[in-house]
């Protein structure tokens, strides 16, 4: 007779997610994953198949619990004119708080893109999908905010904002102020106070 699962899977994944977010896939040692999840190695392998399986679950959790809720005002049928600006202001605020995960650790997926595991085909596909999701949401936000722009200008501005946010996440660990400044530039572009 099999043993009854005595842990909350979502809690385990969230605990592991924080380790992967701070240390990366390659830098996350199994003893640390065991410690934060409260599971031993065999339980991790039984539940997730491998460290990689736990990482994949953590990435899905990151998208579902961190990324998509923040982007949701930009993905509804009627996007409010200030939705993208609010998203960017919230991100800039988080980047200015040294104790926040965005300031101390950037973005789990941007970090993963720069790590060896980012070359894995399945992981690269998830990262490309994330960038596409971000770009699509930003495009909708730009279109809602800037009715003065034509379609090509909206696309260019959405591309610029996506690039600035991705670069902010890449900079966050080493230059949080510079990362916040990059997001500030995106805000200025979106509001029209700075022309591209």
pLDDT in the model for residue 161: 98
pLDDT above 80 for 195: no
Q: Which two tokens stand for residue 165?
A: 């946010």
Q: Which tokens sit at 171? A: 């900079």
Q: 158-175: per-residue pLDDT in tens?
A: 999 999 999 999 999 999
pLDDT (0 to 100) of residue 102: 83
Q: Is the dihedral of CA 68, 71, 73, 76 positive or negative?
A: negative
Q: What is the pLDDT of residues 4-62, one digit of tens each?
A: 467 899 999 999 999 999 999 999 999 999 999 999 999 999 999 999 999 999 999 99
Contact 11, 19 (CB under 8 A): no
pLDDT at 1: 42
Mean pLDDT of 100-104: 84
Specify the pLDDT at position 194: 65
Q: Is the model's pLDDT at 2 over the cut of 50? A: no
CB within 8 A of 188, min separation 6: which ones?
A: 194
Q: For residue 50, what pLDDT is reported?
A: 96
Distances (CA, A) of 164 to 14, 55, 68, 92, 138: 27, 27, 19, 12, 11
Q: Say if residue 181's pLDDT is above 50.
A: yes
Q: Tens digits of per-residue pLDDT, 106-151? A: 999 999 999 999 999 999 999 999 999 999 999 999 999 999 999 9
Residue 6 is predicted with a pLDDT of 73
End-to-end CA distance of the chain: 65
């Amino acid at each position: 007779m099999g043993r009854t699962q005595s842990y909350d899977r979502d809690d385990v994944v969230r605990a592991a997610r924080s380790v992967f977010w701070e240390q990366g896939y390659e830098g996350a040692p199994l003893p640390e994953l065991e410690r934060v999840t409260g599971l031993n190695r065999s339980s991790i392998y039984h539940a997730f198949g491998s460290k990689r399986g736990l990482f994949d679950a953590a990435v899905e959790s990151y998208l579902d619990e961190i990324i998509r809720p923040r982007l949701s005002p930009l993905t509804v049928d009627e996007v409010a004119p200030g939705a993208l600006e609010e998203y960017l202001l919230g991100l800039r605020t988080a980047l200015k708080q040294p104790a926040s995960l965005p300031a101390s650790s950037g973005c789990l997926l941007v970090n993963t893109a720069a790590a060896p595991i980012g070359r894995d085909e399945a992981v690269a596909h998830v990262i490309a999908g994330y960038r596409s999701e971000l770009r699509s949401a930003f495009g909708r936000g730009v279109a809602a905010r800037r009715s003065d722009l034509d379609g090509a200008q909206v696309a260019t501005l959405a591309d610029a904002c996506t690039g600035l946010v991705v670069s902010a996440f890449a900079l966050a660990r080493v230059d949080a102020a510079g990362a916040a400044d990059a997001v500030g530039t995106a805000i200025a572009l979106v509001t029209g106070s700075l022309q591209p």
